[in-house]
Amino acid sequence: MRFLTLLAGCTMLTALPAFSATPLNDLSLATPRFGTWGIDLKGMDTAVKPGDNFFDYVNGTADRTMVIPADKTSNGVNEVLEDLSEARSKAIVEDLAAHTSLSGDDRKIADLYNSMMDEKTVEARDAAPLAPALADIRAITTKSQMAAYMGKTSGAFGSAIFGAYIAADAKNPRINVLNLGQSGLGLPDRDYYLTPAYADKLKGYEAYVASLLRMTGYPDAAAHAKAIVAFETEIAKVSWTRAERRDPIKTYNPMTLAAVAKMAPGFDWNAYFKAAGVSGAKKAVVGENTAFPRIAKVFADTPLDTIKAWEAYHVIDQAAPYLSKRFVDTQWQFKSHDLRGAEEQRPRWKRAVGMVEDSLGEALGRDYVALYFPPESKAKMQEIVGYFRDALKARIQNLTWMSDATKQKALEKLAKMNAKIGYPDKWRDYSKLEVVASDLYGNADRASRFEWNRELAKLDKPVDPLEWDMTPQTVNAYYDPSKNEIVLPAAELQAPFFDPNADDGVNYGGIGASTIGHEITHGFDDEGRHYDGDGKLAEWWTDEDSKRFDAEASKYAKQFDAFEPLPGLHIKGDQTLGENIADLGGILIALDAYHLSQHGKTPPVIDGFDGDQRLLISYAQSWQGKVRDDTLKMRLVADVHSPYDFRVIGPMRNVDAWYTEFKVQPGDKYYLKPEDRVRIW
């Protein structure tokens, strides 16, 4: 994916046109959104040598003057589009919410939004909606009953020490199967429990757990909070690292449900499977298999009273956004302020729009696309994607380190790679989702159950090739290895990433390098390369080619290991390797695709920059942004993406054209000798 998570929208120095409720067709604009040809030249700092810090050379002035809004944890070019998408969604939702004569999905959107905005009713109910769930937890008397309750949380508030989900079978990608993975932690990553650098966050977490328990009258809140953190710490100790979990070979462990129970005794798997609704599954694919028996032992060794308190805490925590202000504020104080550095609570309307996005995303997406994604944009994107296919095809054919046998398989995979652009061909059916305008908590609960039941309906059934995992109004993109497809939502396809009125070099560096080329390369990164053209987890490489790939990938990971975004905290090269490879491949493919698109013509020099320079500057501008230190601290352990500046610096120093175009010389901070540059795709 281009990003790990959907970041909250915010404003930046270079503003987009003011939002209006009328349709906006980007092709109707006479000039590019940014500058005169697609780049914000005023945001550059040309006093910085490109070889010393290309990110600052392109974005230095913009970043110095950029302000992160009080209710945000980051700001930048990406957030500009998220603000725009959020504002457009708000206009659609509020227009529906103001009408009484609605039906179908429109009625549900309006009622869901209104239920979140109805603060008076929510305040009056306070903690009352939690009472049934907390009573059920208090009534638990055995570990088997606890395992069953954990199974129920697959479609309800609460948590489990193992997570269940339905996804394509990696070795039979046309069929959906049950997948099981490690779970049980309340903090963003195991490092928060085990690394001294996060000790203050762990201490704050214990206080937060105690606060939520105390607010619902749970007995001995402080003592239980201490025990809960100790319980999660033991789970963290035996859990796999994020880097280990990226290995598609090691995380593919198919077995019967009976075999799962035998492998991880001490946890009543039958009770868990039955309550989750998956007891009839033909098999399960277990992810972190060596962690399972250890986590089950932690469960078996922990007093039931502690696990009940742990479950109660997670129910309260997950329900908090849909309860009274005291719950909302308590959660915001820890999760947004203490963990991420936000200074103010997000306005309620933003949280309400976000709830609609989460629960009725494609219903809202239909209206969004009709208003804001013109057919011309889709046609232009299809054309650009075609040039990227041709460019990567030529690069594969010309690789000097890969054998002909592996090249042939790689070319077959590329030829079969699908591209979904803008919006789904088939919209999601929400007819079974019940929404009540006066019942916020109930709506959230029913939406969770609806989604889980929708997933259960797929179990052991054929994969739907038309299904999307993102809504059209999402500013993001992804590659799905089991479907061998890239997916480019409509909201991602806007300036500064894509602007029909901008210079071609800008588009090929923005939407081209940072999104299209990036996602295509994911099919051939250290994870994606293990899947063939049909999306099947299969070894199609020769042993020697695999060794050559791994050697270059390892060299690349070590380059990122050396980067230190915060004092004492380095980027994890193995954890971020797939995204870093995709960034490098995206730039290289974009340069070739851009040249192909010019059909032999030499692009003009504009404002002193030739075509390739404009492309590389555009790529760097697409990562313009800044992040609060606490959020950056979190991302360094919980995100598979490198920080914004190193998504520019890291790959660029391995691109030969960068040295030529910007006269990067030995002695410059980020200069690499030709033999030290990574050569993959």
pLDDT value of position 34: 81
Whether residue 263 is predicted with pLDDT greater than 90 in this model: the reply is: yes
Identify the CA nearest to 429 among candidates 399, 464, 404.
464
pLDDT value of position 30: 58
How do 253-255 and 478-480 pair as beta strands?
unpaired
Whether residue 638 is predicted with pLDDT greater than 80 in this model: the reply is: yes
Give the C-alpha separation, 642 to 628, whole Å.
Answer: 15
Q: What is the helix, strand, coil percentage profile of the chain, to 5?
A: 55, 5, 40
How do 625-627 and 74-76 pair as beta strands?
antiparallel
Give the C-alpha separation, 459 to 644, whole Å.
Answer: 38
pLDDT value of position 600: 95
Interval 419-465: pLDDT, tens: 999 999 999 999 999 999 999 999 999 999 999 999 999 999 999 99
To which residue do tokens 């011309």 refer?
A: 376
Lowest mean pLDDT among 15-19, 70-74, 143-147, 483-487: 15-19
Neighbours of 172 (CB within 10 A): 15
Residues in contact with 73: Cβ distance below 8 Å, sequence separation at least 6, in sequence order? 7, 8, 336, 340, 341, 342, 627, 628, 630, 631
Q: How far is CA 296 from the centre of its chain?
A: 29
Interval 215-225: pLDDT, tens: 999 999 999 99
Give the C-alpha separation, 262 to 275, whole Å.
Answer: 19
Q: Is 69 in a helix, a strand, or coil?
A: coil
Give the C-alpha separation, 50 to 184, whole Å.
Answer: 45
Average pLDDT over residues 338-364: 97
pLDDT value of position 28: 42
Share of the chain above pLDDT 90, in %: 92
Contact between 178 and 254 (Cβ < 8 Å): no
Q: How confident is the model at residue 64 (pLDDT cuts 50, 70, 90)?
A: very high
Identify the CA nearest to 656 among candidates 626, 676, 636.
676
| Torsion sign over Cα 453, 185, 129, 331 | negative
Neighbours of 492 (CB within 10 A): 28
Distances 86 to 246, 428, 635 between C-alpha atoms, Å: 31, 21, 23
pLDDT value of position 377: 87
Contact between 479 and 528 (Cβ < 8 Å): yes
The token duo for 216 is 């619902």
Residues in contact with 648: Cβ distance below 8 Å, sequence separation at least 6, in sequence order? 54, 55, 58, 619, 620, 623
Give the C-alpha separation, 502 to 620, whole Å.
Answer: 16
Whether residue 23 is predicted with pLDDT greater than 50 in this model: the reply is: no
pLDDT value of position 500: 86
pLDDT value of position 384: 95
pTM of the model: 0.94
E strand or H helix at 435: none
The token duo for 115 is 């239920």
Give the C-alpha separation, 155 to 444, whole Å.
Answer: 11
* 451 φ, ψ (degrees, to nearest 5): -65, -40
Contact between 564 and 492 (Cβ < 8 Å): no
Q: How confident is the model at residue 15 (pLDDT cuts 50, 70, 90)?
A: very low
Q: How confident is the model at residue 31 (pLDDT cuts 50, 70, 90)?
A: confident
Identify the CA nearest to 338 among candidates 642, 637, 9, 629.
629
Rg of the Cα trace of the chain? 25
- For the 128-322 domain, the top CATH level (class) is mainly alpha
Q: How confident is the model at residue 7 (pLDDT cuts 50, 70, 90)?
A: very low
Helices assigned H by DSSP within 285-347:
291-301, 304-319, 325-331
Interval 284-298: pLDDT, tens: 999 999 999 999 999
Q: How confident is the model at residue 1 (pLDDT cuts 50, 70, 90)?
A: low
SS (H, E, C) 411-425: HHHHHHCEEEEECCC
pLDDT value of position 501: 87
Domain ranges of the chain: 26-89+352-424+468-676, 128-322
To which residue do tokens 């239920």 refer?
A: 115
CATH of the domain spanning 26-89+352-424+468-676: 3.40.390.10
Interval 146-183: pLDDT, tens: 999 999 999 999 999 999 999 999 999 999 999 999 99
Interval 201-215: pLDDT, tens: 999 999 999 999 999
